[in-house]
Chain A
Amino acid sequence: AQSVTQPDIHITVSEGASLELRCNYSYGATPYLFWYVQSPGQGLQLLLKYFSGDTLVQGIKGFEAEFKRSQSSFNLRKPSVHWSDAAEYFCAVGGISNFGNEKLTFGTGTRLTIIP
Chain B
Amino acid sequence: DSGVTQTPKHLITATGQRVTLRCSPRSGDLSVYWYQQSLDQGLQFLIQYYNGEERAKGNILERFSAQQFPDLHSELNLSSLELGDSALYFCASSHGDSTGGGQYFGAGTRLSVL
Contact = CB atoms under 8 A, between A and B. Distances in A.
Interface of A: 32, 34, 36, 42-46, 49, 51, 90, 94, 96-106, 108-109
Interface of B: 2, 30-31, 33, 35, 42-45, 48, 50, 55-56, 58, 90, 92, 94-98, 100-108
Contacts of B104: 46
Contacts of B43: 90, 104, 106, 109
Contacts of B94: 100-101
A94 to B, nearest CB: 8
Nearest to B31: A100
Contact of A46 (B95, B97, B102, B106): B102
Contact of B100 (A36, A43, A51): A51
A43 B95 contact: no
A100 B33 CA distance: 11
Given A32-B100, A49-B102, A99-B50, 18 more contacts: A34-B103, A42-B107, A44-B92, A45-B2, A46-B102, A49-B101, A96-B98, A97-B98, A98-B97, A99-B55, A100-B30, A100-B50, A100-B95, A100-B100, A103-B58, A104-B45, A104-B92, A109-B42
Given A44-B90, A97-B98, A108-B42, A103 B56 contact: yes
Q: Which 9 pairs from chain A and chain B are nearest by CB? A: A100-B96, A106-B43, A103-B45, A44-B105, A43-B107, A99-B50, A101-B94, A100-B31, A49-B102
A101 B56 contact: no
B98 to A, nearest CB: 5
Given A90-B43, A109-B42, A43 B98 contact: no
A44 B105 CA distance: 6
B102 A43 contact: no
